[in-house]
Amino acid sequence: MPGNNNIDTPDDLRNLPVTSLQDLCGELRSFLIDHVATNGGHFSSSLGVVELTVALHYVFNTPEDKLVWDVGHQAYPHKLLTGRKSRFHSNRLLDGISGFPSRDESVYDAFGTGHSSTSISAILGMACTAKYRGDHTRQHIAVIGDGAMTAGMAFEALNNAGYEQPNMLVILNDNNMSIDANTGALQHYLTALTSGKHYNALKSHIRKLLTHPGQPDNWPVEVVRKLQKAIKGGLLRYSNLFEALNIRYFGPVDGHDLKKLIHIFEKLKHIPGPKLLHCVTTKGKGFAPAMTDQAKWHAPKKFDRSTGDTLDAETSVTFQKVFGDTLMELANSNPKIMAITPAMLSGSALTNMKKQMPERVFDVGITEQHAVTFSAGLAADGMIPFCTIYSTFLQRAYDQVIHDVALQKLDVVFCIDRAGVVGQDGPTHHGAFDISFLRCVPNIVGASPMDAEDFRNLLFTAQASEGNGPFAIRYPKGAVASMHGPSGFRKLAIGKGRKIRPGKDIAILSLGPVGQYVKEACDELESDQLHVAHYDLRFFKPLDEALLHEVFSQFSSVITVEDGCIRGGVGSAVLEFMVEHGYHVTLKRLGLPDTFATQGTQQQLHELYGYDKKGIIRVVRQVVGIKTLSVNNVFLSHH
Ligand SMILES: Cc1ncc(C[n+]2csc(CCOP(=O)(O)OP(=O)(O)O)c2C)c(N)n1
Ligand SMILES: CC(=O)[C@@H](O)[C@H](O)COP(=O)(O)O
Ligand SMILES: [Mg+2]
């Protein structure tokens, strides 16, 4: 940042005169545009909160005062002002700083985020701690977007805050956007609050009335008396959603008006109890292309800052593209198919289907729990919902998967996107756990395709298996091995895998697209005279028992490979099978170790955790080499 390049911490910031803060905002924006143009990353949400961030750190005494950023994808200016400017070039890279707030990274990150709508609960916890300790001076602030506000969790927290009445401030950053256009009745309500101004007009009349009873002079005494009675009865309170929950509502205010923000924050500091300030901002503020096409610029790849042209466009066919196209194809011939997304319409490649069949695609907001139970309701009434949720976000709806879907054996198709490591979003976002947490749930079928053809056939099979109960298909972010041969559909046998390649020295069982690494590894090992058999399990539940009997009776060494955590994963399912059936073989399981996987590109992480082509080759050589050394001939991997 040229002009204020000595501003590295909020203390530096607080030493600046108010008059130079506007320039600082410009410098922050310029830095952000340069950085994301060169490296990619979350972008327009950060551009939209520059003034808010500067005003917050200027007025509040961070890190003593607690500041929590919801989701945390808008926290880049916060990071730049809290000691991470010199490391910002490593943002989201392997071994670099995180793209989200992280308690491990900075004392200014009061709470780690990544998943949405946690900020009000977290700040409420801190505010209640302060109240309990008798600390009435510390300030507690949560910044939450209009998208994040659609989640049940946010309202659970408001409900609790209105009851507990601790000292806290919720800043509702309303830019009228989620990743895609924000959906839902709440957005209409917020827009009405912003544009109508009726509530504020009423509020100020009422204030006048309360402070100068009898005013305005020309109002008949009887009208004033009745109005005062109505106020006491809750007229003001119940005309505003937040006030009705016992949280004082302020705003709407222009969230780019730095001076005004500073003035308001100074005032709010001295008002006790829970408060909500409604700020209106523009997502992408300061970068014209991002203000024009807001959904596109949520998290762009590298781009040319002068033209806004994307530099790193995806050229391969992706799982997402195959998913979006196939679902629409299937929906064209099966009128029961519906698509459900909790606020990931474009990320899940459902935008096109929404355009073509608007009444059959539901963007239900950031509400994974509701998305699952809503799908259960559709299924209970004869529809076939394709409930499309990123693996990491499905974690939030675990009880709904069990209680509302699986227990009732409802035909919900779970399309679990971003399964496996997702790359630079890092530990908050990896789809590491879905195999483990679904595998133990009765009634669920669980599968993962190795290539595009397999994926299409699984989607086809899922909708053609009515009455079978829930069907989960997990697939990763990004490129898919493309199809060979005709593009029709084939119904697959549930719980059946396939032999990809015969061999005699060792067998590898893979699940999903990591099977492509296995294929490449087998080719390379062949030239070393190692003949490796390769099986694609395709289903992690139910397991193909016939296939496993074949493998365990023919091979003394077996390796499993999956893009997910080893504990409880498909390798563990194979291990259980082996033990239950009394086989004694050397079994090595490859996948994610028992730690939260770090950030980096997907390829870097596959390599780091040892299940890319090189890692597989290394383990095959190791296992074949050490086989004779293992004591009871059962060798389990312990990462
Ligand atoms: C539980 C969960 N579901 C979905 C997401 C994906 N997600 C990240 S940001 C975002 C939109 C948030 O909108 P808003 O809070 O209004 O912030 P803005 O992007 O507009 O700044 C979504 C859906 C998430 N991070 N967490
Ligand atoms: C912050 C957040 O949760 C999303 O923006 C997420 O980063 C999207 O991931 P994809 O880019 O893989 O859709
Ligand atoms: Mg928003």
How far, in Å, from the CA of 358 to the mean position of ligand 1? 22
Q: What residues does the ion ligand 3 have nearby, CB within 5 Å?
A: 145-147, 175, 177
176 touches ligand 1 (CB under 6 Å): no
Instruction: Kindly state whether residues 155 and 217 are assigned to the same domain.
Output: yes
Instruction: Kindly state whether residues 145 and 243 are assigned to the same domain.
Output: yes
Atom of ligand 2 nearest to the CA of 477: 12
Question: Mean pLDDT over all residues of the chain?
Answer: 93
Mean pLDDT (whole number) for 197-207: 67
pLDDT at 638 over 60: no
CB distance 611 to 561 below 8 Å: yes
pLDDT at 635: 46
How far, in Å, from the CA of 543 to the mean position of ligand 2? 32
Q: What is the CATH number of the domain that holds 598?
A: 3.40.50.920
Instruction: Kindly state whether residues 166 and 243 are assigned to the same domain.
Output: yes
How far, in Å, from the CA of 51 to the mean position of ligand 1? 20
Cβ neighbours for 628, distance < 8 A, ≥ 6 positions apart? none
Mean pLDDT (whole number) for 395-421: 98
Ligand at shortest distance from the CA of 346: 2
Q: Could you tell me the two tokens for 542?
A: 């139910």
Residue of 43, 51, 71, 363 with the most ligand 1 atoms within 8 Å of its CB, for mutation: 71
How far, in Å, from the CA of 363 to the mean position of ligand 2? 16
pLDDT digits (tens, 9 = 90+) for 281-294: 999 999 999 999 99
Instruction: Kindly state whether residues 44 and 191 are assigned to the same domain.
Output: yes
Ligand at shortest distance from the CA of 153: 1
Query: The dihedral of CA 546, 552, 555, 560: what is its sign?
Result: positive
Q: Which domain holds residue 111?
A: 10-292
pLDDT at 484: 73
What are the residues facing 274 on neighbouring strands?
Answer: 168
pLDDT digits (tens, 9 = 90+) for 526-569: 998 999 999 999 999 999 999 999 999 999 999 999 999 999 99
Q: Let me know if residue 306 belongs to a domain.
A: no
Instruction: Kindly state whether residues 42 and 156 are assigned to the same domain.
Output: yes
Instruction: Kindly state whether residues 347 and 437 are assigned to the same domain.
Output: yes
The complex scores an ipTM of 0.99
- Return d(Cα 448, Cα 592) in angstroms, integer: 17
Binding residues for Mg(2+): 146, 175
pLDDT digits (tens, 9 = 90+) for 146-175: 999 999 999 999 999 999 999 999 999 999
pLDDT digits (tens, 9 = 90+) for 99-136: 999 999 999 999 999 999 999 999 999 999 999 999 99
Number of structural domains (the chain) is 3
Q: Let me know if residue 560 belongs to a domain.
A: yes
Between the two ends of the chain, the Cα-to-Cα distance in Å is 43
* pLDDT band at residue 223 using 50, 70 and 90 as cut-offs: confident
pLDDT at 212 over 90: no
Residue of 429, 599, 601 with the most ligand 2 atoms within 8 Å of its CB, for mutation: 429
Burial group, residue 213, by CB count within 10 angstroms (0-12, 13-18, 19+): exposed
Binding residues for thiamine diphosphate: 73, 114-116, 147-148, 175, 287, 368
**0.90 exceeded by the pTM?**
yes
Q: Let me know if residue 369 belongs to a domain.
A: yes
pLDDT at 314: 77
Cβ neighbours for 310, distance < 8 A, ≥ 6 positions apart? 300, 301, 302, 303
Q: Let me know if residue 637 belongs to a domain.
A: no
Q: Let me know if residue 638 belongs to a domain.
A: no
Give the residue with greater pLDDT, 626 vs 389. Answer: 389
* pLDDT band at residue 198 using 50, 70 and 90 as cut-offs: low
For the chain, the C-alpha Rg in angstroms (whole number) is 28
> Ligand 2 pocket: which residues have CB below 6 Å?
71, 73, 179, 299, 347, 418, 422, 425, 477
Instruction: Kindly state whether residues 211 and 133 are assigned to the same domain.
Output: yes
Mean pLDDT (whole number) for 206-218: 61
* pLDDT band at residue 313 using 50, 70 and 90 as cut-offs: confident
